[in-house]
Structure 1
Amino acid sequence: MFTIIGGDGREYGPVTAEQVRAWIAAGRATLDTKARRDREVEWRRLGDFAEFGTPATPLAHDTPASVPPPSDYRAYAADLIARAAKIDVISCFERSWELLKSDFWGIVGVTTVVLLVTLVASVIPVLKWFVTFFLSGVFYGGLYAFYLKKLRGHTATLGDAFSGFSVAFIPLALATAVTYALVALGFVLLILPGIYLAVAYSFALLLIVDKKLPFWDALEVSRRVITAQWWRVFFLLILGAIIGAAGVLALFVGLFITMPIAIGAVTVAYERLCNPPPRA
Structure 2
Amino acid sequence: MYKIIGADGKEYGPVTADEIRKWIQEGRAVATTKAQAVGTSEWRELREFPEFAANFTGGTVPLVGAGSVPPASGGVPPLGAGAGPVAVVVNPEQEAEAIIARGVNFSIGDCLSSGWKLVMADFWPVVGVTALIFLIMSATNAAYVGLLINGPLLGGLYYYFLKKVRGQAPTLNDAFAGFSMAFLQLFLLYLVSGIFIFFGLLLCLIPGIYLGVCYYFTYPLLVDRKMDFWPTMEISRRVVNKMWWQVFAFALVMGLVNIAGVLALCVGIFITFPVTLAATVYAYEAIFNGRQVTA
Contact 2:26 2:167 in 1 (8 A): no
Indicate the RMSD between aligned Cα atoms, in angstroms.
2.7
Equivalence map 1:57-206=2 (5 Å): 71-124=90-143, 128=144, 130-131=145-146, 133-206=147-220
1:248 corresponds to: 262
> 1:104 corresponds to which letter in structure 2?
F
Against the structure 1 CA distance between its residues 176 and 220, is the aligned structure 2 distance closer, same or farther, given a 3 Å change threshold?
same
1:135 Cα offset (Å): 1.9
Question: Normalised by the size of structure 2, how large is the TM-score?
Answer: 0.71
C-alpha distance after superposition, 1:200-257 (max 9, x if no partner): 0011111111100110000011111111211111111111111111111111111111
1:27 Cα offset (Å): 1.6
* Structure 2 CA distance for aligned equivalents of residues 208 and 117 of structure 1: 22
C-alpha distance after superposition, 1:39-66 (max 9, x if no partner): xxxxxxx99xxxx9885466xxxxxxxx
Correspondent of 1:233 among 247, 270, 279? 247
* Structure 1 CA distance for aligned equivalents of residues 204 and 266 of structure 2: 34
Contact 1:70 1:76 in 2 (8 A): no
1:277 Cα offset (Å): 5.1
* Structure 1 CA distance for aligned equivalents of residues 174 and 20 of structure 2: 28
Against the structure 1 CA distance between its residues 216 and 122, is the aligned structure 2 distance closer, same or farther, given a 3 Å change threshold?
same
1:151 Cα offset (Å): 0.2
* Structure 1 CA distance for aligned equivalents of residues 268 and 223 of structure 2: 28
> 1:27 corresponds to which letter in structure 2?
R
1:162 Cα offset (Å): 0.7
4+ residue runs of structure 1 moved beyond 3 angstroms? 52-58
Against the structure 1 CA distance between its residues 21 and 257, is the aligned structure 2 distance closer, same or farther, given a 3 Å change threshold?
closer
Against the structure 1 CA distance between its residues 244 and 57, is the aligned structure 2 distance closer, same or farther, given a 3 Å change threshold?
closer
* Structure 2 CA distance for aligned equivalents of residues 139 and 53 of structure 1: 28
1:19 Cα offset (Å): 3.6
* Structure 2 CA distance for aligned equivalents of residues 135 and 92 of structure 1: 28
2:28 corresponds to: 27
Contact 1:134 1:174 in 2 (8 A): no
Q: Which runs of 5+ in 2 are unaligned?
A: 1-15, 31-67, 78-87
Q: How many pairs were matched up? A: 230
> 1:114 corresponds to which letter in structure 2?
I
C-alpha distance after superposition, 1:122-159 (max 9, x if no partner): 112xxx1x41x342121111000000000000010111
1:5 corresponds to: none
Against the structure 1 CA distance between its residues 193 and 110, is the aligned structure 2 distance closer, same or farther, given a 3 Å change threshold?
same
* Structure 2 CA distance for aligned equivalents of residues 106 and 186 of structure 1: 37
SS at match of 1:194: helix
Are 1:209 and 2:223 counterparts?
A: yes
* Structure 2 CA distance for aligned equivalents of residues 177 and 226 of structure 1: 20
2:58 corresponds to: none
Question: Which stretch of structure 1 is more off in the superposition, 144-153 or 80-89?
Answer: 80-89
Equivalence map 1:256-275=2 (5 Å): 256-275=270-289
* Structure 2 CA distance for aligned equivalents of residues 215 and 17 of structure 1: 35
Question: Normalised by the size of structure 1, how large is the TM-score?
Answer: 0.75
Correspondent of 1:224 among 233, 238, 244? 238
1:96 Cα offset (Å): 0.5
SS at match of 1:95: helix
SS at match of 1:189: helix
Against the structure 1 CA distance between its residues 57 and 145, is the aligned structure 2 distance closer, same or farther, given a 3 Å change threshold?
closer
Identity %: 36
Higher RCO, 1 or 2 (CA under 8 Å, sep at least 6)? Answer: 2
